[in-house]
Amino acid sequence: MINFKPMQIQNEVITILKNLGSSISLKAGENVSAEVVDILPSGAAVLRIKNSYITVNTEIPLSKDNQLLLKVLPPKDDKLQFQLISVSDKKPVNEVFLKEIPIELVLKNLDNLPENIKSQFIQNLINSIIKLEENRLNLPVKDVYQIDGKTIKEAIQNSGSFFENKLTKLINQIENLKQMDLQAYKEIFEGKGNVIENIDKMILENNRLKETLENIKNSLESIYSDAKVNIKDENVNSLIKSYQQLSLLSDSIFGVFPFVLNGIKISKYEIKKKFNENGNIIYFKGDIEFNDDTFASYIIAKFYDGYYITIKSNDKNLVENLKELKKIAIERLKGSNINVVSFDVYG
């Protein structure tokens, strides 16, 4: 698998310092492609956008020939700004060639593909995701009081990113039951009636197989739950499928929550797990886009010495409210076994 950065830098803001050529026609909300043509000693970057050149300031380290995807933001303090959506380290390969390769074939032969082709497939997926997100998405609306840890966990597990793992686990569990008790296996899977009902009946009759049968039942119910996720909006279904493909192409798990709260346009997440000589490093990154084009981005990272939490938003009122919630959260965590090393909220 390859490491690819785009989704980790989303929401970083680039500010235009100087226009070096003719004026550029840009509209707030549109996405534009840019090429880094030079890096100045000050750290500012010269970009080529729509055949014109501008100098911009950004905290993200860029290199010459980087390909950028930018979203035009409303001016702030009379300065035009971009939201940095993605960075590609290589110029795109032939698009016609790429379009002729089915994504399923790419996934099957991932390890044999040249690095630049893999990177471009990821870039194309991100571009398609951005276009889908710009469309109106008819996601089910939930009340805030309906959202809890269990709801979020189930949404991630049922996203499809883990589906292959679930099937493999179930097959192994069923094979294990077959080896332990062939008669029980036949009564459950070859007998009459519903499989789940047969398992419940067998649990009552055979205490020796209780744990094995309960594991099979849990796996089956989880897979059934996946199959019941039925969102009629084709844009949403295409978006979820694109995130699943992006997860397979990269070393992260990407997803979109299949529901929204009032006032929210879309909620996305990324999960990454790395192995370190000092222990595992896990982080959960989320992006929430609101209907008024404001956003909140957060990262909860678990290192070997504790948790690091960072929340960022471009809404001043939301930042102030989050700072108050931060105080409450820190108080509630005192005395628990959760060690929060740092907790930052900024705009």
For residue 71, the domain's CATH number is 2.40.50
The answer to the question of residue 78 being in a domain is yes
Domain membership of residue 100 (yes or no) is: no
Q: Is residue 185 part of a domain?
A: yes
Number of structural domains (the chain) is 2
pLDDT tens for each residue of 133-181? 777 777 878 777 777 778 787 777 766 666 666 767 888 888 888 888 8
pLDDT, tens digit (0-9, with 9 covering 90-100), for 273-297: 776 666 677 888 889 988 888 899 9
Q: Is the pLDDT of residue 187 over 60?
A: yes
Q: How many CB atoms lie within 10 A of CB 253?
A: 20
Whether 10 shows a pLDDT value over 50: the answer reads no
Which of 36, 62, 89 is at the close of a domain? 89
Find the Cα–Cα–Cα–Cα dihedral 70, 75, 76, 80, rounded to 10°. Answer: 50
43 lies in which domain range? Answer: 1-89
241 assigned to some structural domain: no
In a domain, 310, yes or no: no
Q: What is the pTM of this model?
A: 0.54
Domain boundary among 89, 111, 127: 89
SS3 of 113-179: CCHHHHHHHHHHHHHHHHHHHHCCCCCCECCHHHCCHHHHHHHHHCCCCCHHHHHHHHHHHHHHHHH
Compute the distance between CA of residue 62 and CA of residue 222 in angstroms, rounded to an integer.
43
State both tokens at 307. 């948790």
**Domain boundary residue, one of 35, 67, 89:** 89
pLDDT tens-digit profile of 204-227?
888 888 889 998 888 887 766 655
